[in-house]
Amino acid sequence: MLSPQAHGTHHPHAPTGVQRKAAILVTGAGGEMGHGLLTMLRAHAEVAGDDAPAIVAMDIRELAPEIRECCDHTYVGDICDRAMLERLLAMYEIGEVYHLAALLSTRGEFAPETAHHVNVGGTINMLHLAAEQARTHGRTVKFFFPSSIAAYGMASVAAKRAAGTVGEDEHLDPHTMYGCNKLEGEHLGRYYEFHYRKLAKDRTERPIDFRSIRFPGIISAETVPSGGTSDYGPEMIHAAAAGKPYRCFVRPDSRIPFMTMPEAIDAIVRLMAAPKASLSRSTYNVASFSPSAADFAALVQSTFPGAEISFEPDAGRQSIIDSWPESCDDSAARRDWGWSPSHTLETAFREYLVPRIRERYA
Ligand code: AKB
């Protein structure tokens, strides 16, 4: 079912009559990244004025008022519901899709088949919708897909340490359903861009322009994540700011890459704005800082004296973190579309996380 979200949604660009309204579609808009992305899309739309495409957001749950504020239309609906997506196709002329909806790595391991259904089935539906859009309006649809370091898989901690900084094309043996699904999403995007309906006589050449980033763990000052395995980083700092004790579910020596939410949003903006000719691949690593859980805890404790942090590793979640790389080679992103991180761990704390989080919990 496609339910327009009732209260509070502002609809300056509501589609009228038979003309479809140009739109940007964001799925999974209620998640952590949706919050940051929609704020940025709204800011860009304000600058573009009346020429800006409508911002259309959907999520399986009702969206929070501050997210609805950023959108022209919001819908409660399931990306696995093909009939609902067909109705969106009839209402909007979608030029860009940001497909954020997914079940993350920890949640996915409790229900792997459901994760596959949502993460792969939902992605195919969105790619199909984008390709159909391109067929009906005759223009390529830009498609952004957030992939993840979960696409990698190291056999052991020793293998992970030996691998060090990994490039996009190595160690692609994911240990989680979510990681398998992200890797498949990358392949499906490439397929829909270059090979979709290869043998059909009425084939549209390159219906979509697929661009993807393998994100590390992301830390936001505004929201607390749920269902992921990199959640220990953001959870630790939010708990300390809220004056709550925190039991970290991985060993102190666990190390994976992280970045702040503004860096992640900046990466999406840069990649989506890059001229196609400058892109040498469809999926890119990005990197910022790679602290151990102990580095994180030390900085949290020096920032919030009295913060209670203990380490009680959970074997299952630890094994997921041990399979993810310590650091990622982002040289292709730097070269092709000018990626560069804005922070070290210390400046991320000092300049972004701590001031905003203190304000949030004041
Ligand atoms: C997760 O932990 O599942 C995500 C991710 C690293 O993609 N945050």
Q: Is the dihedral of CA 350, 353, 355, 358 positive or negative?
A: negative
* Gap between the Cα atoms of 14 and 9, Å rounded: 11
* Gap between the Cα atoms of 168 and 153, Å rounded: 12
Q: Both tokens of residue 2?
A: 């496609």
pLDDT-based confidence at residue 5 (cuts at 50, 70, 90): low
Instruction: Please indicate whether residue 104, judged by its CB atom, sits closer than 6 Å to ligand 1.
Output: yes
Question: To the nearest 5 percent, what fractions of the chain are helix, strand and coil?
Answer: 45, 20, 35
State the burial class of residue 113 (Cβ atoms within 10 Å of its Cβ: 0-12, 13-18, 19+). exposed
Residue nearest to atom 1 of ligand 1 (CA): 228
Cβ atoms of 103 and 119 closer than 8 Å:
yes
* Gap between the Cα atoms of 135 and 280, Å rounded: 25
Q: Both tokens of residue 69?
A: 């504020």
Q: Both tokens of residue 204?
A: 């549209």
Instruction: Please indicate whether residue 217, judged by its CB atom, sits closer than 6 Å to ligand 1.
Output: yes
Structural domain boundaries in the chain: 102-224+259-288+326-343
Q: What angle do CA 306, 311, 313 make, to 5 degrees?
A: 160
Instruction: Please indicate whether residue 228, judged by its CB atom, sits closer than 6 Å to ligand 1.
Output: yes
* Catalytic residue IDs: 178
Instruction: Please indicate whether residue 232, judged by its CB atom, sits closer than 6 Å to ligand 1.
Output: no
Query: Average per-residue pLDDT in the chain?
Result: 94
pLDDT surpassing 60 at residue 282 = yes
C-alpha of residue 10 to centroid of ligand 1, in Å: 32
Can you point out the beta strands (E) in 281-330? Answer: 283-285, 309-311, 327-328
C-alpha of residue 8 to centroid of ligand 1, in Å: 31
Cβ atoms of 225 and 296 closer than 8 Å:
no
Pure H helices in 242-292: 261-273
Task: Judge: domain 102-224+259-288+326-343, CATH 3.40.50.720.
Answer: yes
Provide Rg for the chain, Cα atoms: 20
* Mean pLDDT confidence for 164-184: 98
- Mutating to test ligand 1, I would choose from 33, 107, 215 the residue with most ligand atoms within 8 A of its C-beta, which is 215
Beta 3-4 vs 73-76: how paired, if at all? antiparallel
Kind and range of the H or E element at 337? helix 331-337
pLDDT-based confidence at residue 20 (cuts at 50, 70, 90): confident
The pLDDT of residue 19: 78
The pLDDT of residue 8: 36
138: left (phi over 0), alpha (psi -120 to 50) or beta: left
pLDDT surpassing 70 at residue 78 = yes
* Gap between the Cα atoms of 78 and 261, Å rounded: 25
C-alpha of residue 72 to centroid of ligand 1, in Å: 29
State the burial class of residue 66 (Cβ atoms within 10 Å of its Cβ: 0-12, 13-18, 19+). exposed
C-alpha of residue 53 to centroid of ligand 1, in Å: 30
pLDDT-based confidence at residue 362 (cuts at 50, 70, 90): confident
The pLDDT of residue 28: 97
Q: Does the pTM exceed 0.85?
A: yes
pLDDT-based confidence at residue 2 (cuts at 50, 70, 90): low
- Mutating to test ligand 1, I would choose from 33, 176, 178 the residue with most ligand atoms within 8 A of its C-beta, which is 178
